[in-house]
Structure 1
Amino acid sequence: SITLWDISIISPSLSLCLPAAQPISSKLHEGWWAYKDVVQGSFVPVPSFWGLVNSAWNLCAMGKRQSPIDIETSHMIFDPHLTPLRLNTGGRRMGGTMYNTGKHVSLRPDKAHLVNISGGPLGYSYRLEEVRLHFGSEDAQGSEHLLNGQGFPGEVQLIHYNQDLYANYSEAAKSPHGIAVVSIFIKLSENSNAFLNRMLNRDTITRINYKHDAFLLMGLNIADLYPDTTRYITYEGSITIPPCYETSTWILINKPVYVTQMQMHSLRLLSQNEPYKIFLSMSDNTRPTQPLLQRCIRTNINFSKQGRDCPNNRALQIDRWIDG
């Protein structure tokens, strides 16, 4: 069962101890940030400091459309104009390289294989750039997004860039309508999703135990990763790592995918360090939820049969839905 997860990582008052943001040397690697405190003799900023240590990352602290969020189902708005999402693989399977980046398990498609999405809330065609896994050290946490305050063991994020307007991901990430992220909650079961099973079976996952490890996978069918549903939730938000650009349309699929307890255990054994450094589990690689502020959360799930004034019934339906 899923329990409430306290997402507070650091007291807001602690941020007062940090000096005013100073420009950081361009020589500093863009990866100079962390999800959680590590004892390594040097300061590496955790999420509450991302926007304070680098002026180029100020949206992480000052932005008004940040991600992830806690999806409160009572605040969702039914939009009858939201059409099903369209996935186009060209009828071909794809190859991709799986990486341990030190922060995520990342699968990056071979550039020769075009996978794109369109339709739904999107006005353009978006090309798949990366499949990224977030997961927790415990079963009640690990997803970046929450549902009515509850976390899930993990979250798959399929990150796409607008190929109609921009030449590549880097250009799109900082530009309007640049990014579309399809997000799918991960739950535990005795059987795993066919696509994730290719990534997380023992022969594969043990190839990327340490930071910078990589392993090539072939014959992948990205359609296998998508749950059997056309229903989703969508909102306008940001990239969830620095520089936190507010250029992302989020599409959260309304059914989860499943992995086994053993596969989740294998993920927790991945190190965020190189083999010659101390072992630090990659788990809990999540940014805390951000304020919704004035944004709308839209959905193509029609609640009209429940009655407009029944938010409790609506929440109950969502609970059943995510168990789907």
Structure 2
Amino acid sequence: MHIVWEIFLIFQAYFICTSAQLISPKIHDGWWAYKDAVQGSFVPVPSFWGLVNSAWNLCAMGKRQSPVNVETSHMIFDPFLTPLRLNTGGRSKMGGTMYNTGRHVSLRPDKAHLVNISGGPLGYSHRLEEIRLHFGSEDGQGSEHLLNGQSFPAEISESPNVFLNRMLNRDTITRITYKHDAFLLMGLNIADLYPDTTRFITYEGSMTIPPCFETATWILMNKPVYVTQMQMHSLRLLSQNEPYKIFLSMSDNTRPAQPLLQRCIRTNINFSKQGRDCPNNRALRPQYRVNQWLLK
């Protein structure tokens, strides 16, 4: 079973974790794309994923597909949702390899440095397998999940995330400009990526790439992390093609929101707990109000 831990930020970064044997990555290396190619040949975009391959029929027929639009007014408070726990086995630092897969910026941890995630809606401890980045071509799109209909592509700060600084500084990101490029990073502290909050939103859904298996538990943290405008610019200069092919930016690598249908979205944010007598009152509020300027 795949567990997905997503953090809203300028782009999306999500962690794919599993407690079972990994599915071969070749199953996801098929003939699909996020957007129309410029070479003139047809490659199926999200609206066609479930139609061109019978093994991907969940992309079109599934009832628990992701991403979704999270309506905060419809969320259910669940007091039994405990905080997430991050276990690095006593090691504060880890290594990993960054890849340009042609569709995502991917960071895959060194197998010698295990990172386990438990708590929250998770019944077992799950191992971190991959961090993927999604981002938009402009400051009006970029995240796969929506919050009250609003995307979260670009919240700029002068204090960007320490972990993402290592991934997105110019000396690093330029090493993976083209598809199949890879670069080894060492001395990463995964705790630096984790936002300073115990509050989250969770629901049962699917992977957002073919074959769209409905085996994912999504955990959306209730606080954004930040990157700089220059780092966003560097991401948009990454190509989804090899160097000998025409440049096509990797940006807008997102699947559109899917119907929620009969699913529940749970949260450990208690909106009804208000007043001065609550010492955690500030932490209980939705932290994505920092993005309200995007609505103007």
Aligning the two structures, in what range does the TM-score lie when normalised by the shorter sequence?
0.7 to 0.9
| Whole-angstrom distance in 1 between the partners of 2:243 and 2:159 | 31
Does 2:81 align with 1:82? yes
Q: How do residues 125-140 of structure 1 correspond to structure 2 at under 5 angstroms?
A: 125-140=125-140
Q: Give the number of equivalent residue pairs.
A: 258
| Whole-angstrom distance in 2 between the partners of 1:45 and 1:320 | 33
| CA deviation map 1:12-39 (0-9, x unaligned) | xxxxxxxxxxxxxxx9983310000112
Matched with 1:249 is 217
Matched with 2:147 is 147
**Which amino acid in structure 2 is aligned with residue 238 of structure 1?**
S
Measured after TM superposition, the shift of residue 320 of structure 1 is: 5.3
Q: Is the 8 A contact 1:97 1:215 kept in 2?
A: yes
- In the TM superposition, structure 1's runs of 4+ consecutive aligned residues that sit over 6 Å from their partners are none
Q: Which runs of 5+ in 2 are unaligned?
A: 1-25, 276-284
| CA deviation map 1:52-87 (0-9, x unaligned) | 000000000000000001111011010000000001
Matched with 1:181 is none
Determine helix, strand or coil for the equivalent of 1:196. helix
Matched with 1:314 is none
Matched with 1:33 is 32
Matched with 2:109 is 109
| CA deviation map 1:201-244 (0-9, x unaligned) | 00000000000000000011100001111000000000000000
| CA deviation map 1:257-301 (0-9, x unaligned) | 100000000000000000010000000000000000000000000
Does 2:163 align with 1:195? yes
| Whole-angstrom distance in 2 between the partners of 1:226 and 1:321 | 19
Matched with 1:229 is 197
| Whole-angstrom distance in 1 between the partners of 2:231 and 2:153 | 11
| Whole-angstrom distance in 1 between the partners of 2:216 and 2:290 | 23
Q: Is the 8 A contact 1:77 1:299 kept in 2?
A: yes
Matched with 1:281 is 249
Determine helix, strand or coil for the equivalent of 1:99. strand
| Whole-angstrom distance in 1 between the partners of 2:63 and 2:166 | 38
| Whole-angstrom distance in 1 between the partners of 2:269 and 2:240 | 38
Q: Is the 8 A contact 1:255 1:321 kept in 2?
A: no
Does 2:44 align with 1:48? no
| Whole-angstrom distance in 1 between the partners of 2:288 and 2:69 | 18
| Whole-angstrom distance in 1 between the partners of 2:184 and 2:202 | 32
| Whole-angstrom distance in 2 between the partners of 1:323 and 1:102 | 29
Matched with 2:21 is none
**Which amino acid in structure 2 is aligned with residue 114 of structure 1?**
L
Determine helix, strand or coil for the equivalent of 1:137. coil
**Which amino acid in structure 1 is aligned with residue 245 of structure 2?**
K
Matched with 2:62 is 63
| Whole-angstrom distance in 2 between the partners of 1:33 and 1:257 | 30
TM-score, normalised to structure 1, is: 0.76
Q: Is the 8 A contact 1:256 1:323 kept in 2?
A: no
Matched with 1:158 is none
Change (3 A) 1:230 1:323: farther
| Whole-angstrom distance in 1 between the partners of 2:165 and 2:152 | 18
Q: Is the 8 A contact 2:67 2:257 kept in 1?
A: yes
| CA deviation map 1:75-112 (0-9, x unaligned) | 10100000000011112111100000000000000111
Q: Is the 8 A contact 1:238 1:245 kept in 2?
A: yes
**Which amino acid in structure 2 is aligned with residue 150 of structure 1?**
Q
TM-score, normalised to structure 2, is: 0.84
| Whole-angstrom distance in 1 between the partners of 2:199 and 2:156 | 21
Measured after TM superposition, the shift of residue 191 of structure 1 is: 2.4
Measured after TM superposition, the shift of residue 139 of structure 1 is: 1.3
Does 2:217 align with 1:218? no
Q: Is the 8 A contact 1:255 1:323 kept in 2?
A: no
The Cα RMSD (Å) is 2.0
Determine helix, strand or coil for the equivalent of 1:188. coil
Matched with 1:260 is 228
Measured after TM superposition, the shift of residue 322 of structure 1 is: 5.3
| Whole-angstrom distance in 2 between the partners of 1:239 and 1:87 | 22
Determine helix, strand or coil for the equivalent of 1:44. coil
